[in-house]
């Protein structure tokens, strides 16, 4: 069943000016698309509009959000973060800088970490979006989430959902990732409270747990999928 938000009115709080200003600010700061080695990054557009072409009118986008089919009508400029938070009311991905600087908005788009504040909602059409709000299964936290709690990997918590998704993506690819790989995976996520050592320890714990679970046949090494 598809949850239909296509007839909900779109709030106008995000202006084209603020979106362009944000993207420009990120580029100017040197932390933009290709600058992050393996951390979350915005999705490259598949097609560039020529100077004569414009996208006009609203577009309907359908994607799977944590396994649930969602239909929503958005302006072409609407970011995935805005579509989730402002249109659907799904607030697991945090809105902090909205400039591609902090990683708090990190989600997995077809298993790849991306900044949802720099990813257009139309890019999610027909794809699978996962957030920290969808990792728990049957009331049980995912290995990464549980390890973050055990290792005291959060203070204010603003960065936490993004870090959880970056670590989850890393360990789903390689649950035996070492600390250097974990650090690299988190390179696009800023924590102003300085919880990094706890986060890295949590990631290593979670990886060990996923490997043990996989070896015992009692679960997948997929990290809460
Ligand atoms: S809110 Fe998207 S990178 Fe900061
Ligand atoms: S826990 Fe506060 S920003 Fe990371």
Cβ of 172 below 6 Å from ligand 1: no
**CA of 89 relative to ligand 2 center, distance in Å:** 23
- Yes or no: say if 125 and 63 are a contact pair by the CB < 8 Å rule: yes
pLDDT band for position 6 (cuts 50, 70, 90)? confident
Full strand arrangement of the beta sheet holding 68-74? 2-5, 68-74, 59-65, 128-130, 106-109, 112-115
pTM of the full predicted structure?
0.79
Greater confidence, 213 or 32?
A: 213
Greater confidence, 76 or 221?
A: 76
What are 129-171's pLDDT values in tens digits?
999 999 999 999 999 999 999 999 999 999 999 999 999 999 9
**CA of 104 relative to ligand 2 center, distance in Å:** 9
- Mean pLDDT to the nearest integer, 51-80: 89
Fold of 2-131: Ubiquitin-like (UB roll) (3.10.20)
What are 86-120's pLDDT values in tens digits?
999 999 999 999 999 999 999 999 999 999 999 99
Residue spans per domain, the chain: 2-131, 143-216
Cβ of 117 below 6 Å from ligand 1: yes
Greater confidence, 8 or 174?
A: 174
Euclidean distance between CA atoms 85 and 26, whole angstroms: 21
* Ligand 1 atom 3, closest CA: 100
What are 30-55's pLDDT values in tens digits?
233 323 334 665 555 544 556 666 66
Domain formed by 143-216, architecture: Orthogonal Bundle (1.10)
């Amino acid at each position: 069943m598809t949850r239909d938000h296509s007839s909900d009115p779109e709030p106008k709080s995000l202006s084209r000016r603020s979106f362009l200003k944000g993207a420009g600010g990120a580029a100017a700061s040197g932390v933009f698309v290709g600058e992050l080695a393996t951390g979350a990054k915005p999705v490259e557009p598949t097609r560039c509009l020529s100077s004569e072409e414009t996208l006009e009118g609203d577009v309907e986008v359908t994607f799977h959000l944590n396994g649930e089919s969602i239909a929503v009508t958005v302006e072409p400029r609407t970011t995935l973060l805005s579509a989730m938070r402002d249109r659907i009311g799904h607030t697991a991905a945090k809105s902090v800088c909205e400039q591609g600087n902090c990683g708090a908005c990190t989600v997995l788009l077809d298993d790849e970490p991306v900044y949802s504040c720099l990813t257009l909602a139309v890019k999610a059409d027909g794809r699978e979006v996962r957030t920290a709000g969808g990792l728990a299964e049957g009331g049980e936290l995912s290995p990464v989430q549980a390890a973050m709690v055990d290792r005291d990997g959060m203070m204010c918590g603003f960065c936490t959902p993004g870090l959880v998704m970056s670590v989850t993506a890393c360990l789903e690819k390689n649950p035996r990732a070492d600390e250097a790989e974990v650090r690299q995976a988190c390179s696009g996520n800023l924590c102003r409270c300085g919880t990094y050592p706890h986060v890295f320890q949590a990631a290593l714990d979670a990886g060990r747990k996923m490997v043990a679970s996989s070896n015992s046949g009692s679960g997948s090494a997929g990290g809460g999928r």
